[in-house]
Amino acid sequence: MPKQRHNILILNGPNLNMLGSREPEIYGIQTLTDIANDCEEYAGELGFTIDFRQSNSEGELVTFIQQARGAFSGLVINAGAYTHTSVAIHDAIKILEIPVIEVHLSNPQAREAFRHHSYISPVAKGTICGFGGHGYILALNALRSLLDDEG
Ligand code: DQA
């Protein structure tokens, strides 16, 4: 039986538009456009349509999350530095009634202490970190099986 098609929102927070030239020893050499293209291709194989967005603004990310209600079946979010500071993004995700996967290119737990706390983790279904851009693909796979389980 063909899998049900779903719309998935992929959100990226501040400074992720600088990937490729931003601390490549930590974040790798892939640009955000490379990651978006990989997600687009893989999403097609999974039967997903994706909307891949980036914003440097906390308020805009909150608005995107609010607008996801009713429009998307799942959210993948790399909130960048807002992961460690944003009660507003935490609250917006709490209102959403769709599965949320938190992604980080690096492994924040292996870095500075200020990166060890996440406001996203308590409101996410799960977190994928430390696998570079491949983490987004892993997150799409996780959403595929979660949404299949929901039926
Ligand atoms: C990040 C980790 C955050 O601590 C950092 O502020 C980022 C990127 C990651 O993808 O590894 O901007 O979310």
Listed by start position, the domains of the chain span: 6-150
User: What is the pLDDT averaged over residues 97-123?
Assistant: 98
pLDDT tier for residue 150 given thresholds of 50, 70 and 90? confident
pLDDT at 128 over 90: yes
Q: For residue 1, name the pLDDT band (cuts at 50, 70, 90).
A: low
- Burial (CB < 10 A; 0-12, 13-18, 19+), residue 130, is middle
* pLDDT score of 4: 80
**Cα 1 to ligand 1 centre (Å):** 39
What backbone phi and psi angles, to 5 degrees, belong to 58?
A: -60, -45
Average pLDDT estimate for 86-115: 98
Structure tokens of 49?
Answer: 């349509």
- The DSSP H or E segment spanning 91 is helix 87-95
- Other CB atoms within 10 Å distance of the CB of residue 97: 8
Q: Which atom of ligand 1 is nearest to the CA of 103?
A: 10
Q: Is 108 in the pocket of ligand 1 (CB under 6 A)?
A: yes
pTM of the model: 0.96
Residues 6+ apart with CB under 8 A from 149: none
- CB 142 within 8 Å of CB 126: yes
Rounded Cα distance, 96 and 78, in Å: 16
In this predicted structure, what is the pLDDT of residue 72?
A: 98
Label residue 2 by pLDDT band (50, 70, 90): low
Which of ligand 1's atoms lies nearest the C-alpha of 26?
11
* Ligand 1 contact via 115 beta carbon (within 6 Å): yes
**What is 6-150's CATH superfamily?**
Dehydroquinase, class II (3.40.50.9100)
